[in-house]
């Protein structure tokens, strides 16, 4: 008997009818002789609505209470789903994060799972029940409710699959798998049969929200077989696997984008040791993650430099205020920022062995008159920061230029 962890996202449980359909599918899997642990997201749009309500009261709501509020979204789904299973004649039991002993650190809104005690879940499985777990939430060591960051239900599912040593973790979503780019941006996007953990990690961290970044990190660390597939169409999706998956050594395998970026620039900073630390320490103390960073000392020997970096849009105002305070202390001239930016990235495991990817990317963007504000690279990706209005255009142009619409044979694993 196999143990399967299945996660259903917000669209998949978006209405009572859809919840009933998912319950039917899960019961089918169970009747086929498998044990099933189901992880559910909040119904589509629910988490956004809860955030909006809190912000009507306070633009920067208390983080502890915000997590208490957001955790209610998933509570609704697991209860309705368990009611549906029981109504269809199959025993099920719902678990909130703390009931499932999903233990996290205490960083509200971006907590990390560090331990799951599976005793009670295992007991329920042994009793033949369908186990239904609220995604996206856990509990810190003091008993506070925490949430794992937007899209975090994927991470709950992979974390549970690792802890329970499941044979597979299936992520059911509103697209048929992982594509060469977001299929909602271009119809030319192709579904990949396989994708390597490494490329999937890079795609997730570059903003392809089909999988939450931490979920891929868990999958890599614990070697959890991950299958991304549709909850609406009966078709094989994408297997996230170890190693290179492409028969042809294509340099670029996917284009990702992230609109959740904001740029900050601190102007005319004295160019001397210790300044970068003085700027970034208070930013990190405030729990703000920094993404791209550029610093370029003037070759004219002015002794001054500009420092530009990006943060998530939600952190923009907080980061700007911190920088304004720091600017005074370190004698910088000014602080500027822009929230209308997006990051577009080309990703490929074989980029290591190809040259000219970055220059091709820059010329494609320049031919379309798209200005590049920042650039960053790693061994397997090139990212550009551009005006957010050009995101979709840039994604389509790059997808064409790197011929991602062309059929590329996968290895048969
Ligand atoms: P769920 O609610 O099921 O967790 P998400 O909205 O979080 O679903 O993730 C699925 C979405 O990810 C798709 O609808 C698609 O718009 C987006 N996406 C971005 N990049 C990709 C990609 N490369 N392949 C597939 N989907 C992608
Ligand atoms: N409900 C949460 C969100 O909307 C978690 C998830 O769906 O994965 O971000
Ligand atoms: Mg998601």
Q: Where in the chain is the domain with CATH 3.30.2130.10?
A: 255-401
Could you tell me if 131 and 124 are in contact, meaning their C-beta atoms sit under 8 angstroms apart? yes
User: Which residue CA neighbors atom 9 of ligand 2 most closely?
Assistant: 150
How does pLDDT run across 70-109, given as a tens digit for each residue? 999 999 999 999 999 999 999 999 999 999 999 999 999 9
CATH second-level architecture of 3-174? 3-Layer(aba) Sandwich (3.40)
Task: Name 246's bridge partners.
Answer: 410
pLDDT at 306 over 70: yes
Q: Where in the chain is the domain with CATH 3.40.1160.10?
A: 3-174
DSSP letter for 107, please. -
Distance from chain centroid for Cα 87: 34
Alpha-carbon distance of 30 to 33, in angstroms, equals 5
For residue 109 and ligand 2, the question of a CB distance below 6 A is answered with no
Distance from residue 316's CA to the centre of ligand 2 (Å): 22
pLDDT at 246 over 70: no
How does pLDDT run across 6-28, given as a tens digit for each residue? 999 999 999 999 999 999 999 99
Kindly state the helix (H) or strand (E) to which residue 307 belongs, with its residue range: strand 304-311
Give pTM, 2 decimals.
Answer: 0.94
Distance from chain centroid for Cα 289: 14
Q: How many CB atoms lie within 10 A of CB 205?
A: 18
Distance from residue 143's CA to the centre of ligand 1 (Å): 32
Return mean pLDDT, the chain: 94
- CATH number belonging to the domain at 255-401, selected among 1.10.3080.10, 3.30.2130.10, 3.40.50.150, 3.40.50.300: 3.30.2130.10
Could you tell me if 74 and 41 are in contact, meaning their C-beta atoms sit under 8 angstroms apart? yes
For a pocket test of ligand 1, which of 38, 40, 182, 260 has the largest count of ligand atoms closer than 8 A to its C-beta?
182
Alpha-carbon distance of 5 to 166, in angstroms, equals 7
């Amino acid at each position: 008997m196999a143990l399967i962890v299945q996660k259903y996202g917000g669209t998949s449980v978006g209405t009572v009818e859809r919840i009933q359909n998912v319950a039917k599918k899960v019961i089918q899997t169970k009747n086929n002789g498998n044990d099933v642990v189901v992880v559910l997201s909040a119904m589509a749009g629910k988490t956004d609505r809860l955030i909006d309500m809190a912000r009507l009261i306070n633009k920067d709501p208390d983080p502890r209470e915000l997590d208490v509020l957001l955790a209610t979204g998933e509570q609704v789904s697991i209860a309705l789903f368990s009611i549906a299973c029981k109504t269809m004649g199959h025993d099920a039991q719902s678990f909130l994060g703390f009931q499932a002993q999903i233990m996290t650190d205490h960083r509200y809104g971006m907590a990390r799972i560090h331990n799951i005690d599976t005793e009670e879940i295992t007991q329920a499985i042994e009793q033949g029940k369908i186990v239904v777990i609220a995604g996206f939430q856990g509990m810190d060591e003091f008993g506070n409710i925490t949430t794992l960051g937007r899209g975090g239900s994927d991470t709950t599912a992979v974390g549970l699959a690792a802890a329970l040593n499941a044979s597979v973790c299936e992520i059911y979503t509103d697209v048929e798998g992982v594509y060469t780019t977001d299929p909602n941006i271009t119809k030319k996007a192709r579904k990949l049969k396989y994708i390597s953990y490494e490329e999937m990690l890079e795609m997730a961290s570059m903003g392809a929200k089909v999988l939450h970044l931490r979920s891929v990190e868990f999958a890599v660390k614990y070697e959890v077989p991950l299958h991304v597939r549709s909850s609406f169409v009966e078709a094989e999706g994408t297997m996230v696997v170890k190693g290179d998956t492409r028969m042809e050594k294509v340099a670029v395998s996917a284009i990702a984008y992230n609109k959740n970026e904001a740029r900050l620039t601190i102007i005319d900073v004295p160019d001397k040791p210790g300044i970068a630390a003085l700027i970034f320490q208070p930013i990190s103390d405030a729990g703000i993650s920094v993404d791209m960073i550029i610093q370029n000392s003037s070759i004219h020997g002015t002794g001054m430099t500009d420092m530009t970096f990006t943060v998530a849009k939600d952190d923009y105002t907080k980061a700007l205020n911190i920088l304004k305070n720091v600017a005074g202390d370190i004698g910088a001239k000014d602080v500027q920022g822009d929230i209308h930016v997006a990051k577009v990235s080309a990703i490929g495991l074989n980029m290591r062995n190809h040259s000219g990817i970055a220059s091709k990317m820059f010329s494609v963007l320049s031919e379309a008159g798209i200005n590049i504000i920042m650039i960053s690279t790693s061994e397997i990706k090139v990212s550009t920061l551009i005006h957010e209005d050009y995101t979709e255009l840039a994604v389509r142009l790059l997808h064409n230029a790197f011929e991602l619409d062309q059929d590329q044979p996968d290895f048969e694993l």
